[in-house]
Amino acid sequence: MAERVVPFRRHNGGEASRALRVAVIGVAAALVPAAASNAGAQTSGEPTPASVRITMDTLHLLGGVPPGWMLSPPSGDRERGRALFERLGCFTCHAVRGESFAAPSGAGPELTGMGAHHPAAYFVESIVNPDAVVVDGPGYVSPDGRSTMPTYPEMTLVQLADLVAYLRDLRSGENAHLAASTPAAVPLAESDLPAPPEAGRRRYLVQVYAVKSGKLQEFEQWFASEGRAQFLAEPGVVAVDTYVDRTRSAPRLVTVLTFEDDAAFLRFTSSDSADRVSRRFDDFIGPHGHDIHLLAPIYAVESLSARRPGATPARR
């Protein structure tokens, strides 16, 4: 059976929990037949945010936006975004190390690695309204206190999404554009990946996140004194494992909730006590997504691993 990943995006630290539960019940109910009928299917692109269901009266009482609302631009095309970055002449003010653009002749912050430091909404605002956040720097600010970056009123929404996709991809100092002659990478089918360990009908809920500033110690204390026991008290929750992933720029924490089967996962998504402990968990972390996996999401490949006899293996 091929793995099918169902992505969910939570935009705030807990207010969307109910909306997530409603959406996830319908998805989880169809996991097994969907996976069977879509063998080898792969998901790609940015996950679509989970819907927030709300009455019009409540929406008006909240000021016209749902709780914890945050702008989520649609997925764009990174390559088209790079071409637009070049066509608009953005490189004349912004350096991007590893790219083949000419050296900047104007003043503007270097964009190398910026994708790891800002959410997509920040890039959208910076392009649409440069004066919203004026960064101090040589030549960045005009004599009247405004940003020296121009605006682009003729830019379409599709172009905006593409440009943001390119900026979000700038996560290191080496962002060299692939030459046209270089064949595009083809995603591996599930059958081309090393097999995961046998796990029966277990289900996995994965969250990738960063802890809010100054909250890590409190987060660890809460988990040790309350969170661990509350998660494991939910019927069918087998384990809660958190990993630090230094291979990514940010965020670097990954928590995997393992359920013994589909029924346990469904019970969790409709449980008030599970909702409470999930909300408390979210109090400590920033915006994050939720992925449901049918196969173990992180596992060691023993056939491609080796260690010196007597050496302590890395915990996985």
Q: What is the rounded end-to-end Cα distance, in angstroms, of the chain?
A: 24
* pLDDT for the residue numbered 292: 84
- The CATH number linked to 132 is 1.10.760.10
Digit-coded pLDDT (tens) for 111-122: 988 888 888 888
**Over the chain, what is the mean pLDDT?**
78
Q: Residue 233, exposed/middle/buried by CB under 10 A (0-12, 13-18, 19+)?
A: exposed
* In-domain check, residue 284: yes
* In-domain check, residue 191: no
* In-domain check, residue 211: yes
Residues 284 and 220 in one domain: yes
Is pLDDT of 3 > 50?
Answer: no
- The CATH number linked to 40 is 3.30.70.100
Is pLDDT of 186 > 90?
Answer: no
Digit-coded pLDDT (tens) for 272-298: 999 999 999 999 998 887 888 888 888
The conformation of residue 10, written as its DSSP 8-state character, comes to E
Residues 210 and 289 in one domain: yes
Digit-coded pLDDT (tens) for 24-75: 434 343 333 333 333 333 333 444 556 677 788 877 777 777 776 777 788 8
Enclosing domain of residue 210: 6-66+197-296
Is pLDDT of 245 > 80?
Answer: yes
Residue pair 56/62 in contact (Cβ under 8 Å)? The answer is: no
Residues 112 and 56 in one domain: no
* pLDDT for the residue numbered 50: 60
Residues 213 and 245 in one domain: yes
Residues 82 and 50 in one domain: no
